[in-house]
Amino acid sequence: MPQFHVDDMTCKHCEATITKAIQEVDAQAKITIDLNMHKVEIVSDKSVSLFASSISDAGFTPVAIEN
């Protein structure tokens, strides 16, 4: 399950932009975002690197969390 810290995700607008970036990779992904912890959890069978590049392209800095 892809998980990221995104320190520059700071508000609801960021959350919406990142949600859209994730859905561009997998429209069916289940997404959990914790704004206070700057954490994004994704349930999807697509690769971590696909989500990382999509979130980067949206202007953010995702750091993958190993699990």
Nearest distance from C-beta of residue 13 to Cu ion, angstroms: 4
Binding site for Cu ion (CB under 5 A): 10-11, 13-14
Angle at 48 between CA 41 and CA 2, to 5 degrees: 20
Contacts of residue 61, defined as CB under 8 A and 6 or more positions apart, other chains included, come to 6, 7, 8
Closest CB to Cu ion among residues 51, 60:
60
Nearer to Cu ion, 47 or 61 (CB): 61
In the bound state with Cu ion, the residue whose beta carbon lies nearer, of 33 and 42, is: 33
In whole angstroms, the minimum distance from the beta carbon of 43 to Cu ion comes to 23
Instruction: Give the whole-angstrom CA distance, residue 4 versus residue 7.
Output: 9
